[in-house]
Structure 1
């Protein structure tokens, strides 16, 4: 049985330089459409879920292109509104070796950032829905969207919808103080939460764990503290990433439920094509596992494998099916699947 899933946020046009070029010297540039909640929606659609994306885009060729992008991945656009001034964009200067990638946002006055409460009929949107996903990025874009995010979470709970909130803190969008104040109002309405140790310390004000604890024990401590503060949160997740170079990272997934922390194997990703959207791919894997009632260890293995595979393709979204991810989990890395 397909379940109705709602994701709510801004989708943007991404311009990326080719590896080895700085923005200041680029004459050719790659274009992709993406945004945190849109990426999660695309991935969940590829996993076989019925996904509806809620957003607002301009009524021009770029807005039409966004709609085509979503539909091409099976995402429903019934709640994609048209209007406003422009589509938000962002620029990625692709890193190489020890040089990190850099992001420049150009999203002021975008159609979505100027969306108003009256634009969305959440009673219709959440009717018969099973899951709602939103992130801190949406709440960071404007005071109205901060209020809208809270209203949406409350309305989802009224309809008995399972709710997912990803902290997704971006220092270029708001300060730690602003994020902390807003997120603390949203968390009482979240069932699923994606956050890490730094979020716990700097956004929720939790005391640092003892130094003698292992990294896993520290994370378990932070998650237990968060659950004390917000007992409504049933599931928490995050990744441990070690950046050896821009194209060589290690990744391990973490999933916390019922007082226990489950961890995936540590993956070595040594030929990264595109890291953008890796966190969204992980989040979508967690949500898929929860929706499919996977055992926790199987869930975190699936979610981490989904994120690892995302690193191997260009674009913001993960476009692998659940079967492809499960096949990847069973086979040796790099082995030809015949």
Structure 2
């Protein structure tokens, strides 16, 4: 595949207080530059793909600093829109999961939330792009953002661009009066590659999961449900050609992780990983998504794509920041063949 990979979403600053409140006494509150789609772009740029990033930022000096930071990581930031509003923030206690109660969003009235249809010239911006990626976090921010997502997908689809989506569900978002299903079912018809898990597909697309599946704790049952969910997504949305599911279980420091990929005629599963020294879970799913894009972009065999994406996610668990710093060779060496 040739052409640029364009990701679209909100840039966020993650503030990470320690669990004991020591940050207040030491005047130290670590800040990380992130956001789901930016994490994907960062990984792809690191791995040598032509990565571009479209977001909305306030027109001020802090945004200039952030843009310089991204350019230093070989990310094309020319698609970024500068306008009114602020940079979105989120607070996450050190070592905790994004789904934990330690997560606090501060994104109201951000430049991205204020973004309106007609602001971005998608026809021009998508020139030379062969892959467009967004996540379900973007349309969860505001109705305006959801409308812009739909606008972008229509333009990308009309140009024959491959479109991928990460169905990452954030319960603390979706606060503007529309349910995830109302919005996401309007966006999925344009998507060719879908990543998520069986529970996100149920919540956001209405694809039913066996009611007591979580009580079983059995890998075989989880994978069976993943195959059924993937087949249902493909049947409902004919443009979808690949569906990936991730499974991550465990306590804060110990994780069991494996994944699956449905390509329409094959259902593939990855090797299983056990990790007992997790540093940060933030961005591991984004790194898996980046691994999928990287593999498909380079036209690898689907099984090879899946194993690389899975190892990408696993190696991200050892990185403090939101995005990975692991090279392609480091990730390939981490692939388990046991």
1:197 counterpart residue number: 198
> Counterpart in 2 of 1:335?
none
- Rounded Cα–Cα distance in structure 2 between residues aligned with 1:93 and 1:172: 16
Deviation at 1:21, TM superposition (A): 4.3
1:3–1:140 distance in 2 versus 1, CA, 3 Å: same
Q: Which residue of 1 aligns with 2:108?
A: 108
Residues 53 and 207 of structure 1, relative CA distance in 2, 3 Å threshold: closer
Corresponding residue for residue 249 of structure 1: 255
**Residue correspondence of structure 1 range 251-330 to structure 2 within 5 A:** 251-329=257-335
- The answer for unaligned runs of 5 or more in structure 1 is 333-338
Answering whether residue 89 of structure 2 is matched by residue 89 of structure 1, we say yes
Mapped to 2, the partners of 1:29 and 1:18 lie a distance apart of 8
Contact preservation (8 Å) 1:20, 1:95: no
Aligned to 2:164: 164
The 8 Å contact of residues 142 and 174 in structure 2, kept in 1 or not, is answered as no
Extract unaligned runs of 5+ from structure 2. none
The superposition leaves residues 116-149 of structure 1 with CA deviations (integer Å, 9 ceiling, x where unpaired) of 2232110111112110001111111111111110
Bigger mean CA offset, 64-73 vs 298-307: 64-73
**Normalising by the residue count of structure 1, what TM-score does the alignment of the two structures yield?**
0.91
Q: TM-score, normalised by structure 2?
A: 0.91
Residue 131 of structure 2 aligns to a residue in which SS?
strand
The CA deviation string for residues 216-265 of structure 1, in whole angstroms up to 9 with x for no partner, is 1111011111111111100111211111x212111112111123221111
**1:174-213 matched pairs, under 5 angstroms:** 174=174, 178-209=179-210
Residue-by-residue CA offset, 1:261-313 (whole Å, 9 max, x unaligned): 21111111211111110110000001111111111111111001001111111
1:84-140 per-residue CA deviation (whole Å, 9 max, x = no partner) reads 12111111112479x957210111011111112232110111112110001111111
Q: CA deviation at 1:204?
A: 2.3
Q: Secondary structure at the match of 1:236?
A: strand
Question: 2-side partners of 1:16 and 1:53: how far apart?
Answer: 24
Query: Aligned equivalents of 2:117 and 2:23: distance in 1?
Result: 37
CA displacement at 1:206 relative to structure 2: 2.8
Of 66-75 and 99-108, more deviation after overlay is shown by 99-108
The 8 Å contact of residues 11 and 33 in structure 1, kept in 2 or not, is answered as: yes
| Counterpart in the other structure of 1:236 | 243
Structural RMSD (CA): 2.4
Number of positions where the alignment pairs a residue of Structure 1 with one of Structure 2:
330
Q: Alpha carbons of 1:192 and 1:229: their partners in 2 closer, same or farther (altered >3 Å)?
A: same
User: Residue 52 of structure 1 corresponds to which residue in structure 2?
Assistant: 52
Q: Measure the CA separation in 1 of the matches of 2:21 and 2:307.
A: 35
CA distance in 2, matches of 1:290, 1:62: 35
Segment of structure 1 superposing worse, 232-241 or 18-27: 18-27
**Which structure 2 residues correspond to residues 128-167 of structure 1 after superposition, within 5 A?**
128-167=128-167
Q: Is the 8 A contact 1:273 1:311 kept in 2?
A: yes
CA distance in 2, matches of 1:268, 1:101: 25
Report SS of the residue matched to 2:335: helix
**What are the superposed Cα offsets for residues 32-65 of structure 1, whole Å, 9 maximum, x if unpaired?**
1000111111111111111111111122232122
1:30 paired with 2:30, answer yes
